[in-house]
Structure formats: structure tokens, C-alpha cells
Structure 1
Amino acid sequence: MGFLSKIKEGLKKTRDSVFSKVKNILSLEKLDAETLEELEELLILSDMGVETVEEVIERLKEKVKEVKDPNTALKKVLIDILKEEEEEKKEAPKPYVLLIVGVNGTGKTTTIGKLSRIFKEQGKRVVLAAADTFRAAAVEQLKVWSERVGADFISQGQGADAAAVAYDAVMHAKSKGKDIVIIDTAGRLHTRHNLMEELKKVHRTIGRVLPGAPHDVWLVIDATTGQNGLVQAKKFAETVNITGIVLTKLDGTAKGGIVFAIKKELKTPVKYIGVGEGVDDLKPFDPEEFVDALLATEEAMDAEV
């Protein structure tokens, strides 16, 4: 299955429950008050968020003045929202330090494994740091991933000081000339103050070892949690500077509209999306491909198979 086909298949639940109906409504080619109200209700059902939906509706009313076809107008509006405030790509420092945060159950450690595989395929030398020291299973899981992809593995075992593990990993990367350090952190419940404080400590320690690090902090969110995931994201953002989102389990939810809410409310770019359990099912996020997948017709899907 091709790259785009994989994303389309992964968004099937969201497309079937909401966006296929959206396309049907807009195919009538009349944007009267009744149509707009129905459209608004459907988009809210997708977990897009009330404020974001209101903005989409307002932009759509303007866009159809220049793009007569409502479906095409909606597509352009949705892409524009996801593309706003996109960052310019910069050359990564060496070593590039990536801190991964998120609550238990989001697929955080698995995501790190899949990211390390992607980076290794790009020819990067990767170090994985098991700083989720509260769960022995997390340490073991990350070790398995390191062996599978051929990445260096730094750990002090369960119960160790997370900041010490992060320190060792960055020092190892510096001394061995490695390209990327990915640091796993404990699956913090965002209501637990002491764990958030530990996250700040990890952040400070890394910065002392390597000024400017961590260079990115990515939050892993489970798409099936919908608006609750957005609440988690806001809590984490109060503790550390979240620079990117990895949205997992999009194939397991009918509420893929949460991507737009995250982008609009957090003003933080979505970096990768998970559209399946397979090792190749973590995909770089592309706004145009994502919207195209949401609005794909069944005929288009069948033609690609």
C-alpha cells in the first residue's frame, strides 16, 4: 500500500463518520443557512472544537466567493489552517536532542522506536535514552527497539534518576559523535505535580550538558482521547516548551478533526501521525495529504487498490 493510501485507510473512520457526509452536503452547491448549520454540527462531531469550527465556517463563506465549488473551497480552508505558522526547516545541530513527553497509554515508547527507525533509515546515528524509569516495562520496551533498529541504548534501570539517564545519553552522543538523541520520559499524569517537576529537571540538566538542548520537545497524544488530549497538551505546555505534536492512533478514532483543534488552539505543528500498529505506520504529517485523505471519495480509494 502506498504512502498516501496508508493515510487514507488510516483515516477511514473519521472520513466515513463525518467528512463523507460533509462532502455530500457541499455537493449540493448551495451554502444557505441550513447547509452551514448542518456542516457546523458535523465538524463539531469530528472533535474539531467549537472555536475552530466557527472559524472554518467564516472562512468558507469568504472562500466560495473566489472558488465557486464548496468542496474545493472547504479543502483550501482546511489546508490553510493546518499550514499557518509553519516553521522554516533548519539544519539540525549535532547531536540533535529530542525530548518525548506524554501520558501513559498514548503509544509514547512505541513512537520513539518508530521514530528511531525513520532516522536510522536516513543514515543518522541514534541514541535512545530510557528516562522513563518508573516503569520497568518501558525500559525493556525501549531496549528491544534499540536492538531492532541498531541504535545505542542508555539506561540505568527502573527507579533511576531520569535526569541522570538523560545526562549520560547526551554525554555519550557528544563523545561518540552521534547524530540524534531521543529521550523517553515517564508517562506523566498531567495532574501530578512532582512528575512535572521532574520533567523540568530533565530539561534543565540537558541544557547544562549541551547549551540549547533539548532542541525539540514533542508531545505524543492519543487521538482517541479527543478533547481530553488537548487538555493534556495544554498542561504539558505550562511545564515545558512543546515544539511539536505526534498524534497516534488516528486509525482508531472517528474524531480526526482533533488535528485542526490542536493546530489552532496550541499553535504547535503536528510532526507525525500514527495510522496503524505496523512499524511503517508512523507518517510525517503533510497538511495537503491529510486533508486530501479526509475528503477522499470511495471511488478514489477503490481506484488506488
Structure 2
Amino acid sequence: MTAAIEREQVRGGAESRPDRGPDEVADRLLASAARLSRNAMTEIDWSLPMDPEKYGCSPEWSSLYGTDYWDELTVEQRIALTRHEFASIMCIGIWFEMILQQMVLTDQYLGEYHSPEFQFALVEIADECRHSMMFAKASEKMVGKSYHPHPRIGRLGKVFKLIAKDEVAYAGILVAEEVLDVFQRGCMRDDRVLPFIRTINEIHVLEESRHMKFAREEVRESMRGISAKRRHASALSVALGATLIVESLIQPQAYADAGLDVSRARREAAGNEHFHSMIRSSCTHLMEFLDEVGLLTTPAMRFYRKAHML
């Protein structure tokens, strides 16, 4: 992002590029969804017992991996920790997917119902409903409970879904999807991870790739010709939303449920450079895109750095 600040000084809106447009992109994504959509509720045998030696996610993606606390844990404790951590991530995913669905419905409320853009928006909502069911079922099976964001964050989420429009709504959607994409791509190929969790990651990566393409095109379309004032405000709104999402992924209760000292776990996770580097690596493409369209402003960058996304 070395050019980000330089661009920030001269750009009044998104850079022009020969885009295909939302309808053409949506047409291709509709065809892809018709061919490739999957359903975890029928594809996974949820009655199979879990292998006690399999992790909930790749150990390297644990928030405590690489810390002194991790080194002190037994293998059984590490497995329990990753299961509760990934259950927390899935539940926070459900929370944000419900926000996402409402934002997309609001955006398309009086849309052109005959258009591919509108029709793919409905496909995306249907996908997100299935993903939320998939995550809910997986959380039930793996740890038998739900995790929720802090009540204050939950209230802010209600505000965000009411006020987020256009580029803020779709960039917010993109943030949540991009952050998990790299994480899940690694976990879905890891034989150490529970097989049904690997399948869930595979399904989510496949279907979210369509959602990310759609969101990028919607952001580009919304950014065309906007004022510098609106661009700065939108960039800040997206950064604030991104920070809340990333900082909510692993709830403190997950440490307690895994039998850990919550205070120590939170302290070591907060200072874990390995985990911070994993978060940054998962956000590389996101930051490049935000820079491209003019949403990586100097004030926004401060929030991304605070959340270790940049």
C-alpha cells in the first residue's frame, strides 16, 4: 500500500476502469450459482461422531498459537481451544450474515426486478441463509452453544445495517467475506481439522467467491463520480465496521469454555504477533481493492492498523 497516501492526496473518487457492469457480472454469477451451489445440510452426515484428535481449525490460526500459553497447553486443550475459537468465528459470521441479508434486501427493495443484478442479490441472500444454518448446525455439533458479539457491538450492528448504503454496505460485506476467505482456504485443506468443518469451509469459500465478485462490482459502481467528502466519510465508516468485525471474531467466552484463564488468554492473544500477521495476510487483497477504489484513506488506515488488518 505504498501508493495509498499518494493517491489519497490527488483522487476525488474511484479511478476509472473498463468494468463490465453489475448486470453482466451478475449474469455470469447466476450461471455459476446454478451449476455449483451446494447444501451442507444434505451433503454432510451430521450424525457421525467427531474424531477426538481433530482440531476445529488449523492450529496456526488459533489466536494463541506461538505464545507461551499455547506451549503450556496439552494437545487435548489445544484441540478444545480451536473448536471453541472456530465456533465463535462461525457464530459471529452468522451475526454479520444476518446484517448482510438485511442490507442487501434494503438496497434491492425497489430495484429492477427483471435485472440479473436483482436476481443475483436474491441468490446471495439465499446462500447466506444456508451458510447461517450450516454454521449454526456446526456450532451445535462441535461445542453445543452459541457465541454473540458484545451487547454494545450488537447495538452498533443494528445501527450499521440501518444507515449503511451503497459503497458502505457492499464494502462492509466484502470486509467480512475477505477476512475469512484466506483463513478458510487453509483450514479446508488441513487433514488435522475435523472433516465436516473442512467441508463447511470448502462450501463457504466456493460460494463466497461469487459474493465477493458481486460486492466488488457494486462498490465500483457506487464509487463512480462521488464527491471527496462522501468518499472520506464512506472510507471511515467501512474501516470502523471492519474493526468491529475483526475484533469480535473470537469472543472471550470461547477461552473460558475451553477451560483457559480468560484474562491471560486475552492478554497473550492481544500481543500475539503471529496471529496479527495471519490477519494481515488474510486482508492483503481487501486492502488492495479498497486502495484501488479510493476507500483506503489515511484516517481509515489508522483503524485497519489498530485491528492488525494493515
Normalising by structure 1, report the TM-score.
Answer: 0.25
Query: Counting helix residues as a fraction of each chain, which structure ranks higher?
Result: 2
Normalising by structure 2, report the TM-score.
Answer: 0.25
User: Higher relative contact order at CA 8 Å, sep ≥6: structure 1 or structure 2?
Assistant: 2
Query: Counting strand residues as a fraction of each chain, which structure ranks higher?
Result: 1
